[in-house]
A and B are shown apart, each in its own frame.
Chain A
Amino acid sequence: MRPDMQDVLANTVARCLNHLMLILLPTARRAWGRALVAEQHDITKGRERLTWAAGGILMSVNELMRTLFSDRPAWVAGLVLGIASALVDLHSSTRWPYVILLFAFGVILASWRPKWAWRWTFLLALSLPAVVLVTNNWGPYLVDRFDVFYGLVPATLGAVAGVMLRRVSRWFPHEPIGH
């Protein structure tokens, strides 16, 4: 391949990586992504520009993970509530207590921490399969079926309700007590 063709190819791939990086970056960090892209105009070699753009992807994945796993109290609360509801389900004759608990915990977690509330959905719902695998206690579930994942439905509905509740509560400004 001719050197100028290599440069054209490297620049094209770098542009694609820049777009992907800006999509992946959390909104609060986009300016940093644009800063990283702006520096590429000073890099003359195509391969070096490509390496610089690839670094941007690394940065965005790093930031994405950092945002995803931020808020330790909510993660701990979600884990505890998820395990508690899973244990209730494994020792219950019907599934209604589990469904109601997951919905309620979904509402609580999502209204408490509405940012990226889908994280709590997965955490709550996947606690049951995790507990089943760790304890090897399948309770009322069949080993060859995937019905342990049905908790995703009430947890998702609860999270949606929680986010909506949070939004509705913003419409009513809280008056300070005593005024």
Chain B
Amino acid sequence: MRVSSQTVAVLQALRGCGRTWSYGYDLSKVTGLKSGTLYPILMRLHDEGWLENKWEQSSEPGRPPRHLYRLTAVGSSAASRAFQTTGSKTRARRPVYET
């Protein structure tokens, strides 16, 4: 799976929550991604088995159930690898100044 900087941002946000479930809107606020970018990323992560989801029934009447997300064990280790790769890429791109 191709891991873009936006995917890394989503992975970081999910990783920060640990085993706690997150809402899509909260992830959007944390990552700064719009829904049109965030949800396709969540879909891909789910397709790869990196993300698990569940529906949460609302106590408020007339309100639809909400989708919750968290990283799977596979996703968590894949996220670590993605952070290392992006970290090394960033370090490689960073200019070296002689002192």
> Which of A's residues lie within 8 Å of B, judged by CB?
29, 31-32, 34-39, 41-43, 51-59, 62-63
Q: Which residue of A lies closest to B68 (CB)?
A: A35
- Chain A residues near B39 (CB, 8 Å)? 32, 35-36, 55-56, 59
A to B contact number (C-beta, < 8 Å): 63
Partner of A38, one of B34, B36, B43, B66: B66
Which B20-38 residues have C-beta < 8 A from chain A? Answer: 23-25, 28, 34-38
Q: Tell me whether A34 and B37 are in contact in the complex, defined as CB-CB below 8 angstroms, given that A39-B25, A42-B23, A43-B25 are known contacts.
A: no
- Label chain B's interface by main secondary structure: helix
- Chain B residues near A31 (CB, 8 Å)? 67
- Chain A residues near B38 (CB, 8 Å)? 55
- Chain B residues near A34 (CB, 8 Å)? 64, 67
Q: Which residue of B lies closest to A37 (CB)?
A: B64
Is there an interface contact between A56 and B35, defined as CB atoms closer than 8 Å? yes
- Chain A residues near B37 (CB, 8 Å)? 55, 58
Most interface-central of B39, B53, B63, B67 (chain A CB within 10 A): B39
Is there an interface contact between B36 and A56, defined as CB atoms closer than 8 Å? yes
- Check if B65 is an interface residue, CB within 8 A of chain A: yes
Number of contact residues on B: which range applies?
A: 10 to 19
Partner of B63, one of A29, A36, A41, A56: A41
Q: Can you list 22 A-B contacts with CB-CB less than 8 angstroms, sorted by A residue number?
A: A29-B43, A32-B67, A35-B66, A36-B35, A38-B63, A38-B64, A39-B67, A41-B63, A42-B23, A42-B25, A51-B34, A52-B34, A54-B36, A55-B35, A55-B39, A56-B36, A57-B36, A58-B34, A58-B36, A58-B37, A62-B40, A63-B40
- A43–B65 Cα distance when bound, in Å, is 15
- A36–B5 Cα distance when bound, in Å, is 22
